[in-house]
Structure 1
Amino acid sequence: MDVVWREVWLEVGWGRLAAKTCITGGSQEAGDVRLKIVGLHGWMDNANTYDTLIPLLPAGLEVLVVDFPGHGYSDHLPSGAQHSIINYVIYLNMALHKYGWDKYVLLGHSLGGTVGVYYTALFPECVLALMNLDIIGTLPKDNDVNTWRKNVAVLIKREEQDKEKNPVYSEEKALERLIITRRGIDNITNIDEDAASILLPRSACQVENGYKWRHDPKARNIDQMFTGGESFLFAQASIKCPVLLVLATYGVYFKRWSHILDSRVEVFRDNAKWFDMEEVEGRHHVHLTHPERVAPILTKFIKKVLQCELQPPQSKL
């Protein structure tokens, strides 16, 4: 069933985060809402990433999908400020608090899933459950001072590139670049032209001779220097709410990082209220390209969360 999206703007002090909201099932009455869901998109994607998935979810869900800073319609960070996982967590919490939401389920894909893990760890009182699509969290990386120095050099370079002229692309070239930049390991194509067409209106603005990217150039490099390794495991182990992980057969953990999956899954199994994991045929963006494979898994988990939330508390007497 189609949903009706409404644009909203969330103030975060230095600027505004853009977001879009809807109520599933065709109803636009807040009284019909049974659960609130916050959608978090992947790196260099935007809030349109869930356009094909959300209409397939159960009725009565109020969904708010947020553009991260410098992505989609959201404002760019001020000059001198840098993109980082922890900053995204803080800005998101500020935005949701001002929007008036205090209890919700997080739905994260890729970068959004990593942000979701740290958010849940830092604000557990707000998160009823965490649903991650083809990501558990930060991927393995070298964690030493020399690597940090290289990362800082890249961040400084991006600050300089922020001042460069934004080129104009034809629609064909813009779609092509969206597809190419989302290729995975072994040059696997993660999205097709239809999916790229869904992301394009929020990724680029239309000008006289074509399209210009909306994104903040600095967002191409997000500072993750202190949000990997043991710090991520500490955050993951602190999560006590229900967790769902949906993996793509040819997604992030295909080949290159498959060896880390079992150990991280075990952390969720040992600490979350309950942990569900399912695998679906597809690529990293399978939720966008083949939402019919992902929606039933989310629906089953959401109903389980609803049943848990509606149960009266048991007496301790």
Structure 2
Amino acid sequence: MEQRIIEEIEIPVPWGHVAGRWWGPRNKQPVIALHGWQDNAGTWDNLIPLLSVTTAVLCLDLPGHGLSSHYPKGMNYYTYWDGIILLRRIIKHYNWSKVILMGHSLGAAISFMYAASFPEEVDRIICIDSASPAVREPHVAASHTGTGIDKLLDYENLPKEKLTPCFDYDFMIDIACDGYNGSVSRRNCIVLMKRGLAAAPICNKKRGYYFKRDPKLKVIGIGTMDINTALVYASRIRCKVLNIRAIPGLKRERLDYYLDIIEKMKENTIVRYEEVKGTHHVHLETPENIVHIVEEFLNT
């Protein structure tokens, strides 16, 4: 049986590096895989081993996540928009063309936005349990702007022990599991935390672990869009699209917005929309429910 090659890589960026895990052949242009908000490249550790060993996949840790560099103090994360720029940097770094993107949640939204921004340069996208960036009514976005900015500035002034709390390993896994609210099992929290936790030499006079992700990532809601803007971006997509929605998946205030974006993309390209049983992290929790759909889409 052919052995699967796995290699950890670092890609230079102006503020440090972006880390990633390259699965499969290095002589092939890989599928670029993007994780969800506050996750990391480990989110794909259960799905990719089920794909053909000849499939190349580059799983990235987005800035501030996993093993990637954090933004400097004073810089905020505009996760959707930053993701488009980051993808552009990496694609130009490798001089790739007609890329294939695969994303979950935030990663799916970034894939959607990149395909809309560079419609002639994307071959296909796979979006798992997300169709676009989070869509908010303008009055809701406006009402959250001030509190989001104050929260960001508060983080800059917190002492380190409050900004990056440190406890024993099992307790940190408990915190992570509670945060996922049933979407990720304890077993798979451990998978994610291989890149998400780091050991601290001395923490509160004892050894412990802390979350590696940048605490500033908790500030979300700045830079969202309304449904009309999302539909315009959807109308620009020309690549083939696979959208997998988990049932029950992520609880949404407006499921109709999700489905409206799917229908808008169908006006200009081929869209395969599939509903499968699973949590929001279906690719991590029950990858066997989607692997045949993903593989078929990649090989069509």
Q: TM-score, normalised by structure 1?
A: 0.85
Q: 1:29 to 1:105 in 2, by over 3 A?
A: closer
Match of 2:102 in 1: 107
Q: 1:15 to 1:228 in 2, by over 3 A?
A: farther
Q: 1:16 to 1:262 in 2, by over 3 A?
A: same
Match of 1:278 in 2: 274
Q: For 1:194-213, what aligned pairs fall within 5 Å after superposition?
A: 194-208=187-201, 209-213=207-211
- Per-residue Cα deviation, 1:108-127 (whole angstroms, up to 9, x for no partner): 00011111111111222332
| Among candidates 154, 157, 160, match of residue 157 of structure 1 | 154
- Per-residue Cα deviation, 1:117-172 (whole angstroms, up to 9, x for no partner): 11111222332101000111123323244333333223333333485552212221
Residue 259 of structure 1 pairs with residue 256 of structure 2: yes
Shift of 1:89: 1.4
Q: For 1:54-65, what aligned pairs fall within 5 Å after superposition?
A: 54-65=48-59
Match of 1:219 in 2: 217
Match of 2:69 in 1: 75
Question: Does the 8 Å contact 1:162/1:217 carry over to 2?
Answer: no
Shift of 1:251: 0.7
Residue 126 of structure 1 pairs with residue 117 of structure 2: no
Q: 1:232 to 1:225 in 2, by over 3 A?
A: same
Distance 2:219 2:3 in 1: 35
Match of 2:204 in 1: none
- Per-residue Cα deviation, 1:251-305 (whole angstroms, up to 9, x for no partner): 12x4643232331221121122x0001111110001001111110010111111x
Residue 302 of structure 1 pairs with residue 298 of structure 2: yes
Shift of 1:91: 2.0
- How many residues end up aligned between the 2 structures? 290
Q: 1:224 to 1:128 in 2, by over 3 A?
A: farther
Matching residue's letter, 1:285: H
Segments of structure 2 that go 5 or more residues without pairing to the other structure are 202-206
Matching residue's letter, 2:109: T
- Superposed CA RMSD: 2.0
Q: 1:257 to 1:180 in 2, by over 3 A?
A: farther
Question: Matched residue of 1:61: which SS?
Answer: coil
Q: 1:49 to 1:190 in 2, by over 3 A?
A: same
Question: Does the 8 Å contact 2:31/2:99 carry over to 1?
Answer: yes
Distance 1:76 1:228 in 2: 28
Shift of 1:29: 5.9
Range that drifts further, 286-295 or 163-172 = 163-172
Distance 2:167 2:36 in 1: 23
Q: 1:3 to 1:159 in 2, by over 3 A?
A: farther
Distance 1:226 1:255 in 2: 15
Matching residue's letter, 1:262: L
Question: Does the 8 Å contact 1:83/1:223 carry over to 2?
Answer: no
| Among candidates 287, 290, 300, match of residue 291 of structure 1 | 287
Q: 1:158 to 1:143 in 2, by over 3 A?
A: farther
Question: Does the 8 Å contact 2:84/2:114 carry over to 1?
Answer: yes
Matching residue's letter, 2:297: F
Q: TM-score, normalised by structure 2?
A: 0.89
Match of 1:232 in 2: 230
Segments of structure 1 that go 5 or more residues without pairing to the other structure are 184-188, 305-317
Distance 1:248 1:226 in 2: 23
Distance 2:176 2:195 in 1: 12
Q: 1:143 to 1:156 in 2, by over 3 A?
A: farther
Range that drifts further, 147-156 or 171-180 = 147-156
Distance 2:18 2:159 in 1: 19
Q: 1:142 to 1:227 in 2, by over 3 A?
A: closer
Q: 1:61 to 1:115 in 2, by over 3 A?
A: same
Range that drifts further, 167-176 or 192-201 = 167-176
Matching residue's letter, 1:20: R
Residue 146 of structure 1 pairs with residue 140 of structure 2: no
Q: Once superposed, which parts of structure 1, at least 4 consecutive aligned residues long, lie more than 6 Å away? A: none
Question: Does the 8 Å contact 1:46/1:68 carry over to 2?
Answer: yes
Distance 1:148 1:165 in 2: 22
- Identity percentage of aligned residues: 28
